[in-house]
C-alpha cells in the first residue's frame, strides 16, 4: 500500500478551488497521453492539471502536502526512463502551458524561460540574436526546457559543449512544501552556499518543480562542417574515435552508427556500394570559419589513418541537415522494426567503447536477440537498443539488459549517460551506486520532500 | 560554548594511534602556518595532522564523530574567505601530502589526482600530453586541486572554459561519518541519481573530505593571442567588454584593470605615456591558429569601436607571460600598499559592471577609503579591493564592504563569484539567499554531518 490519499471528488474539488477550475484536463485523449510517455509504459493518474504559474504550483503542492497525494510534474513526456509517469497515481502536473521565453539577453548571454518552453523554440529564439543554446537531445522539437533540466539532457553537441547542467545558471522552483525558492544566480559565476541549482538539474522532478530557468548562451558558431566516414567494421570506426579525440581538436559531434543500424537506414545513405558490415562515423566541427577547416582537416586525417573507406563532406546546410536527419531516424527505425524495444543509454570511458561493442554478439547469441548500437561515440555514450522480433521474448530482453548493464559497469561505465533513472532503471541503481551514496540521496530527498509526494517511486 | 570535546593529551594519543603517529605536525612554524590562510585571520587548532590516504582520513573522522571534535581540512591555505581556518579549534587536517597526480589519460581526456596536488603541477602534467586543465585562479602555483574543487575555483580562463565545477567528473570523499563514498563517474556523462559530485564542489569542505578526483581535460589550444587595450576611462573599457562579449566570439580572457590599479603597476605597463585615469583591458583568444586570428580581429575591432586609445599585441610566449605577470601583480601591490585590505569578488550581470564601477567613488568618499577594481570583466566578476591606509579604519572598511555587497545584490549580482563564503562572508549570506534556501542547505549539511564536526562554523 502506498499510503497516499485517493483524489476523491471532494479532494479534487478542493484542488481545483486552489489551482483554478480551468486547469483541469478533461479531454479523454489528453488524459490518455498524460498516462504514458516515450517508454510506452502506462501509469494512470487520478487527476491531470495544467498550471500556468509558480503560485498555482505552490497552491497545489501545499494541498498535496496537507492531504498526502502524489504530484508528478511533466513536460512533453518524451523521456525514455518513465520519469514523468504517475507511478502512485495522484495528480499529473502538466507544465507545457508555462512555455514563455521570457527574455533573450544578448549582452549577458543569457535566456530566461518558463519550463514548458519547447527546446527547439528556445534554440530558435537564441539564434535570432546570434546566440546558441547547445543541448540537443533527439526530442528537441518536442521536449521542454524544464524536462531537459530535470534530466540533465544531452545530445550529439555535448562532446564539445557539455550537457544541460553546464547551461543552467539559476532556477526558480516550487518545493514539495509549496515554498518558492531561487537557486543559483543570474551571474555567470556564483559560489554562495551549496549548489542547489545543480542539485535540481538531473534530479528528475523529485526535489522540486522548476518554474523558471536562467540559462547561459554562447555565440552562434559562424561555420560548421560535417563528414560521414564509412569504415569496413565497427572496430576501425571506434579506433578512429580514439584517434580523433586524441588529436588535439574538439569536434562538435562524433557519432557512430553500427552495421545493424546502417542496414535500417541504407536508403538514406549518402554513399553507393557501402559493404555489409560497415559502420559509420559522423564528424562535425563548428566555430570560426578558419578553425572549422583546420579542425576538420585534423579529424579527416585521423579518420583516414584509422582506415576510413569512404568520406563524404557535407558542408552546406542542406547536406548537413540530410546527414542529421539520417542519424535521427536510426532509433525510429529500430523501434518500428522491433516487437520489443528497450533503449539503453550507457556511457563508458572512451577507450572501452570498442570492447563494449565487441561483446554485443555474445549477448545477442546467448539471449536470441538483436542489439543495435549507435550514439555519441566521442562521449563514450552508446545507445544500446535491445530488441526482439517477438513480444513473448520480454524476459529475454530483460535478462539481456541486466547483463549488458553489469558489463558496462565492469568497463568502468555508467548505466545512464542521458536518459536518467526514472522507473526504467530504478532496479539497476544499486548496481552502480554504493549503499552509502543511496542513503545520502534518500536523505536529501527527505529534506526536500518529507512526505514523499513529489514524483514518488522514482530513481531509488 | 561550542560543545566540542577538547583534544586532551589522551584524545590526541588516541587520534595518533588511529591515524599514525608520523602524521602529527609539531614544527612550530608549520603549526603557525596551519592557523592562518591568505585572509590573515588566525584560528588556532589544537592538533595538526598531515594524512596520506582516504583510510587514514576515515579513521580520523570516525574518532571525530565518536568524540565530537572539529576537523578542518586544508589544502595550501590560499583561500580568501577563511574556509580552511579552525574556527572551533580541534584538528586541522592537512592534505598537501596526498599530492599524487595518479594518471593523465590522453584517450579519455581525464586526469586522476589526489587532492593535495598543486594546480600548476596538474596543468603541467596535462600539458605534457598536449592537454589543458583550464581553471586558473591567481594562486595556481600554490593552491591544491582539492582546494579548487572545494571552492569551485575560477580565474581568467573561466570566461571561455567555465569554473572547476565543469571539470570534475567524479570524486572520492570521506564523509564526516568516516564512510568513503564515490560520487559522479569516470565517464564524460552520467545521470544516475542526484549530482553528489557537483554538490561537493563548492561546498567548502563542509560535507566531506575529497580524497581523489577524476577531472576532465581538453585539448591544449594550439595558439593564443593577447592584447592590452588602453581606454581613457573605465566606462569606455566596460562598454568595450559588452561589445566584445556580444560580438559573436568567445574570448579566453577579458580582464580589466581600473585607473587606481593601473597606477600601482605603471612601471610594468607595456606602454609609454598612458594618461592618468586610464583603464586597461586584457583580451585573449586561444584555440586553432585560424580562429585565434579571426577572433582577435573581431575583439580588436570591438575595442577600437568602443574607443581604445592604444592597443598592444602580445603574441609570443614571453610577451604574453609579461602581460599576465603584470595582471597577477595587481592584487599583490594593492595588498602591499594598504594597512587594511579586504578582497571582495562579487559578480554582476555583464551589463551592470559599468554601473557598479561608476558607483565606487561614492562609497570611497562616504567612508574615506580607496576601492580598487579589477578582474574578470567578461564574467562580470569584479574584484573589489576595499583598503584603508590606516589600521584604525577597520570599521569603515567593514561598513563599506557591507554597502558594496548590498549594492551588488541590487544590481542582480552575487556576493561571491570565486572566493566562497567561508568565515569572511558568512554574515552576508542571508542578504543573498532566502531563509528557505538556507534552511535546505543546513539540512543537507545535517544529512552529511549530523554532529557538525567537519569544518564547522563556515558558510551558514
User: All 3 cell numbers of residue B112?
Assistant: 586522476
Nearest residue, CB atoms, B418 vs list A183, A191, A195 = A191
Question: Cα–chain-centroid distance for residue A373?
Answer: 17
* d(C-alpha A134, C-alpha A141), whole Å: 14
Q: ipTM of this model?
A: 0.96
User: For chain A, what percent of residues have pLDDT higher than 90?
Assistant: 95
**What is the pLDDT averaged over residues A97-114?**
96
CB spacing of A287 vs B287 below 8 angstroms: yes
Query: Distance of CA B32 to CAs A108, A288, A335, Å?
Result: 44, 52, 67
Q: Report pLDDT digits (tens) over A137-179.
A: 999 999 999 999 999 999 999 999 999 999 999 999 999 999 9
* d(C-alpha B67, C-alpha A336), whole Å: 63
**What is the pLDDT averaged over residues A31-56?**
97
pLDDT, mean over chain A: 96
pLDDT, mean over chain B: 96
Please answer whether residues A292 and A281 qualify as being in contact, where contact means their C-beta atoms are separated by less than 8 angstroms: no
pLDDT score, position A271: 82
Name chain A contacts of B288, Cβ cutoff 8 Å.
Answer: 249, 287, 290-291, 294-295
DSSP one-letter string for A19-75? H-GGGB---HHHHHHTTB-TT--B---SEEEE--SHHHHHHHHHHHHHHT--EEEES
SS3 B37: coil
Tell me the shortest Cα–Cα distance from B28 to chain A, in angstroms: 34
pLDDT score, position A2: 66
The pLDDT of residue B47 is above 90: yes
Tell me the shortest Cα–Cα distance from B359 to chain A, in angstroms: 19
User: For chain A, what percent of residues have pLDDT higher than 70?
Assistant: 100
Helix A435-448 to helix B435-448 angle (10° resolution) is: 150
Q: What's chain B's length in residues?
A: 460
Tell me the shortest Cα–Cα distance from A175 to chain B, in angstroms: 10
pLDDT score, position B273: 85
**What is the pLDDT averaged over residues A379-408?**
95
Local confidence band at B11 (pLDDT 50, 70, 90 cut-offs): very high
The pLDDT of residue A413 is above 50: yes
Among candidate residues B136, B127, B120, B135, the one with its CA nearest the CA of residue B106: B127
**What is the pLDDT averaged over residues A83-92?**
98
The pLDDT of residue A373 is above 60: yes
Half-sphere exposure of B285 (CA within 13 A, CB side): 24
Spatial CB neighbours of B292, under 8 Å, sequence gap ≥ 6: A291, B221, B223, B224, B225, B285, B286
* d(C-alpha B206, C-alpha B422), whole Å: 10
Local confidence band at B272 (pLDDT 50, 70, 90 cut-offs): confident
pLDDT score, position B146: 98
pLDDT score, position A176: 98
Q: Provide the pairing of β-strand B209-216 with B310-314.
A: unpaired
Please answer whether residues A243 and B274 qualify as being in contact, where contact means their C-beta atoms are separated by less than 8 angstroms: no
pLDDT score, position A428: 95
Q: Report pLDDT digits (tens) over A420-440.
A: 999 999 999 999 999 999 999
pLDDT score, position B142: 97
pTM passes above 0.95: yes
DSSP one-letter string for A237-255? HHHHHHHHHTTT---SEEE
Local confidence band at B348 (pLDDT 50, 70, 90 cut-offs): very high
The pLDDT of residue B55 is above 70: yes
The pLDDT of residue A237 is above 60: yes
The pLDDT of residue B269 is above 60: yes
Half-sphere exposure of A64 (CA within 13 A, CB side): 32
The pLDDT of residue B271 is above 90: no
What separation, in Å, do the N-terminal and C-terminal C-alpha atoms of chain A show?
A: 17
Residue among A194, A223, A225, A454 with most chain B CBs within 10 A, to mutate? A194
pLDDT score, position A75: 97
Spatial CB neighbours of A428, under 8 Å, sequence gap ≥ 6: A402, A405, A415, A421
CB spacing of B437 vs A162 below 8 angstroms: no
Continuous segment of H or E residues that includes residue A9:
helix A9-19
CB spacing of B191 vs A417 below 8 angstroms: yes
Nearest residue, CB atoms, B418 vs list A109, A189, A196 = A189
Q: Report pLDDT digits (tens) over B311-342.
A: 999 988 899 999 999 999 999 999 998 999 99
Among candidate residues B175, B66, B56, the one with its CA nearest the CA of residue B454: B175
**What is the pLDDT averaged over residues A84-101?**
98
Name chain B contacts of A376, Cβ cutoff 8 Å.
Answer: 189
pLDDT score, position A1: 47
Question: Cα–chain-centroid distance for residue B67?
Answer: 33
SS3 A379: helix
Name chain A contacts of B438, Cβ cutoff 8 Å.
Answer: 193
Residue among A192, A196, A246, A417 with most chain B CBs within 10 A, to mutate? A192
Amino acid at each position: 500500500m502506498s499510503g497516499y490519499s485517493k483524489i476523491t471528488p471532494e479532494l479534487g474539488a478542493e484542488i481545483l478551488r486552489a489551482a483554478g477550475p480551468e486547469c483541469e484536463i478533461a479531454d479523454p485523449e489528453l488524459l490518455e497521453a498524460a498516462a504514458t510517455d516515450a517508454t510506452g509504459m502506462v501509469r494512470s493518474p487520478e487527476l491531470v492539471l495544467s498550471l500556468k504559474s509558480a503560485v498555482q504550483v505552490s497552491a497545489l503542492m501545499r494541498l498535496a502536502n496537507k492531504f498526502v497525494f502524489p504530484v508528478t510534474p511533466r513536460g512533453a513526456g518524451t523521456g525514455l526512463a518513465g520519469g514523468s509517469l504517475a507511478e502512485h497515481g495522484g495528480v499529473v502536473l502538466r507544465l507545457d502551458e508555462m512555455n514563455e521565453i521570457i527574455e533573450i539577453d544578448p549582452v549577458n548571454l543569457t535566456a530566461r524561460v518558463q519550463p514548458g518552453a519547447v527546446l527547439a523554440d528556445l534554440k530558435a529564439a537564441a539564434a535570432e540574436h546570434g546566440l546558441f543554446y547547445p543541448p540537443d537531445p533527439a526530442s528537441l522539437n518536442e521536449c521542454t526546457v524544464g524536462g531537459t533540466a530535470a534530466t540533465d539532457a544531452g545530445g550529439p553537441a555535448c562532446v564539445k559543449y557539455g550537457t544541460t547542467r553546464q547551461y543552467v545558471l539559476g532556477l526558480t522552483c516550487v518545493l514539495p512544501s509549496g515554498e518558492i525558492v531561487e537557486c543559483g544566480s543570474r551571474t555567470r559565476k556564483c559560489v554562495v552556499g551549496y549548489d542547489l541549482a545543480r542539485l535540481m538539474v538531473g534530479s528528475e522532478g523529485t526535489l522540486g518543480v522548476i518554474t523558471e530557468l536562467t540559462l547561459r548562451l554562447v555565440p552562434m558558431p559562424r561555420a560548421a562542417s560535417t563528414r560521414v566516414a564509412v569504415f569496413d567494421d565497427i572496430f576501425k570506426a571506434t579506433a578512429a574515435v580514439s584517434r580523433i579525440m586524441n588529436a588535439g581538436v574538439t569536434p562538435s559531434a562524433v557519432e557512430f552508427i553500427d552495421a545493424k543500424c546502417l542496414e535500417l537506414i541504407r536508403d538514406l545513405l549518402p554513399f553507393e556500394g557501402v559493404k555489409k558490415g560497415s559502420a559509420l562515423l559522423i564528424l562535425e566541427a563548428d566555430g570560426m570559419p578558419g578553425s572549422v577547416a583546420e579542425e576538420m582537416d585534423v579529424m579527416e586525417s585521423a579518420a583516414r589513418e584509422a582506415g576510413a573507406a569512404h568520406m563524404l563532406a557535407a558542408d552546406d546546410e542542406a547536406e548537413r541537415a540530410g546527414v542529421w536527419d539520417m542519424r535521427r531516424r536510426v532509433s525510429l527505425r529500430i523501434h518500428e522494426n522491433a516487437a520489443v524495444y528497450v533503449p539503453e543509454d550507457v556511457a563508458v570511458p572512451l577507450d572501452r567503447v570498442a570492447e563494449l561493442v565487441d561483446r554485443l554478439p555474445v549477448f545477442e547469441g546467448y539471449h536470441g536477440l538483436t542489439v543495435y548500437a549507435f550514439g555519441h561515440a566521442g562521449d563514450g555514450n552508446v545507445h544500446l537498443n535491445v530488441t526482439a522480433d517477438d513480444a513473448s521474448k520480454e524476459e529475454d530482453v530483460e535478462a539481456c539488459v541486466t547483463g549488458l548493464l553489469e558489463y558496462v559497469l565492469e568497463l568502468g561505465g555508467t548505466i545512464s549517460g542521458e536518459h536518467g533513472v526514472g522507473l526504467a532503471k530504478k532496479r539497476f541503481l544499486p548496481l552502480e551506486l554504493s549503499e552509502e551514496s543511496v542513503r545520502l540521496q534518500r536523505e536529501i530527498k527527505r529534506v526536500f520532500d518529507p512526505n514523499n509526494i513529489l514524483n514518488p517511486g522514482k530513481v531509488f
